[in-house]
Amino acid sequence: MPFLQLANVRKLYPNAAAAAVENFSLDVEAGEFVSLLGPSGCGKTTTLRMIAGFETLTAGQIVMDGKAIEEMRPNQRNIGMVFQSYALFPNMTVADNIGFGLSVGGSAKAAIQQRVREMLALIKLEELGARYPYQLSGGQQQRVALARALAIRPKLLLLDEPLSALDAKIRVALRNDIRAIQRKLGITTLYVTHDQEEALSLSDRVVVMNHGLIEQVGNPFEIYNFPRTTYVAQFVGTLNLLDAVVVEPTAGSVQIQGQPAHTTSLAGCSQGEQIRLALRPELLALKSTGQADENRLAGVVETIAFLGAVVRIQVRVGEALLALDEFNNPQLAVPAVGSPVFVYFARSSCLKLL
């Protein structure tokens, strides 16, 4: 039995035309780190708030640790929550913030102090217990908020875009710390973000959401390499989308912009069918010759952009524009804009999308 189980959860806000969350079913195992990923307004926060108890469900069930929790009040669920805006109590010191939950729960003073010390050590801010929130940086405030949520030994940890108010460097450092702490404590965690890199780098599994619906659930490897829908493929990383016509389904042969090519994912297609193929830029290469079973498309270089570690080259193939990435190095022979080139890619790297 999974630790947290959401079954057909639906949320329709009063006076809203469409449901914010629809038919949401998800099983989370104990100790798992699961991210909800999706664009603004897709219902990530709403889902999290229903689990925390701040929103009621229109339909469906939520079971945590074998108990239905959707009727429980938020202060009885024992779920830790970390907010985007930190939400530290401005009138309390760092130590009092961290100890608040225990003190509300009636723990003894000595036990609270002990736990606060443990938590401060966990977030590596031992020195700052006596400070007030306004005397801390954003990153430090969010660490304290994490410690405060964890101090009560919650059954579940919810984080709603905890890093989006921070600048890029701290974001990466803190997200690694969050993951390390989560692993150390083994706490089941749901993490909301609209940043695909964050979701892929942190999570055991990623839930990609779109307009309140789950598009795909999978581990980061599956989500990135085998997106099931155009939506997921486009949302997670850069992607080339190519229209193609099926020539011979059993042989896997297709036509892309009038040029022959092959793919390994034509199951269930019929001859002459219009399909859509996805290609990751990093799986394409500019070469003069390639292996016999590689696909080859002829095109013309349209733009070249240096992105640091990689060089992104856009090649026009008929009506389509293909982006491809080459790792940057001083010996790299970058073709001139306007020159004719061949783009090579493996048959298996070309995915058919739903």
Ligand X SMILES: Nc1ncnc2c1ncn2[C@@H]1O[C@H](COP(=O)(O)OP(=O)(O)OP(=O)(O)O)[C@@H](O)[C@H]1O
Footprint on this chain of Mg ion (rule: CB under 5 A)? 45
If the CB atoms of residues 115 and 194 are measured against ligand X, the closer one turns out to be: 194
Rounded distance, CA 158 to CA 45, Å?
Answer: 10
Question: Half-sphere exposure (CA, 13 Å, Cβ side) for 88?
Answer: 30
Out of 41, 56, 67, 105, which residue is the one contacting other proteins (CB under 8 A)? 105
Rounded distance, CA 326 to CA 328, Å?
Answer: 6
If the CB atoms of residues 42 and 266 are measured against Mg ion, the closer one turns out to be: 42
If the CB atoms of residues 20 and 214 are measured against ligand X, the closer one turns out to be: 20
324 contacts ligand X (rule: CB under 6 A): no
Rg (CA), the chain: 25
194 contacts ligand X (rule: CB under 6 A): yes
Segment near other proteins (CB under 8 A), from 40-48, 127-135, 226-234, 296-304?
Answer: 127-135
Residue 105 interacting partner from other proteins, ligand X, Mg ion, none (CB closer than 5 to 8 Å by kind): other proteins
CA end-to-end span of the chain: 31
Residue 13 interacting partner from ligand X, Mg ion, other proteins, none (CB closer than 5 to 8 Å by kind): ligand X
- SS3 of residue 207 by DSSP: strand
Rounded distance, CA 194 to CA 214, Å?
Answer: 14
**Residues contacting ligand X: total by CB under 6 A:** 12
If the CB atoms of residues 16 and 333 are measured against other proteins, the closer one turns out to be: 16
C-beta separation of 235 from 209 below 8 A:
no
- DSSP 8-state code for residue 296: E
Kindly list the distances between the CA atom of residue 151 and the CA atoms of 89, 96, 197, in Å, as whole numbers in the listed order.
Answer: 15, 11, 28
> Between 22 and 61, how does the x/- string for binding to other proteins read (CB under 8 A)?
------------------------------xxx-------
Out of 26, 28, 42, 81, which residue is the one contacting other proteins (CB under 8 A)? 81
Out of 14, 16, 18, 91, which residue is the one contacting other proteins (CB under 8 A)? 91
If the CB atoms of residues 101 and 162 are measured against Mg ion, the closer one turns out to be: 162
Q: Parallel, antiparallel, or unpaired: how do β-strands 33-37 and 188-193 relate? A: parallel
Residue 20 interacting partner from Mg ion, ligand X, other proteins, none (CB closer than 5 to 8 Å by kind): ligand X
| Backbone CA torsion sign across 61, 228, 217, 11 | negative
Which pair of tokens denotes residue 147?
Answer: 């410690």
16 contacts other proteins (rule: CB under 8 A): no
What residues contact residue 81 under an 8 Å CB cut-off, 6+ apart? 52, 149, 157, 158, 159, 160
If the CB atoms of residues 103 and 210 are measured against other proteins, the closer one turns out to be: 103
Out of 43, 133, 227, 299, which residue is the one contacting ligand X (CB under 6 A)? 43
231 contacts other proteins (rule: CB under 8 A): no
13 contacts other proteins (rule: CB under 8 A): no
> Between 133 and 162, how does the x/- string for binding to other proteins read (CB under 8 A)?
xxx---------x--xx--x----------
Rounded distance, CA 177 to CA 220, Å?
Answer: 19
272 contacts other proteins (rule: CB under 8 A): no
Kindly list the distances between the CA atom of residue 301 and the CA atoms of 228, 289, 305, 317, in Å, as whole numbers in the listed order.
Answer: 30, 17, 11, 9
Residues 103-162 that bind ligand X (CB under 6 A): none
Residues 21-40 that bind ligand X (CB under 6 A): 38, 40
284: nearest Cα among 243, 242, 319, 255: 242
Residue nearest to ligand X (CB): 45
Out of 8, 25, 56, 76, which residue is the one contacting other proteins (CB under 8 A)? 76
H-helix segments, 203-258: 220-225, 230-235
Please report, as ranges, the residues that interact with other proteins according to CB under 8 A. 52-54, 73-81, 83, 85, 87-92, 100-101, 104-105, 132-135, 145, 148-149, 152
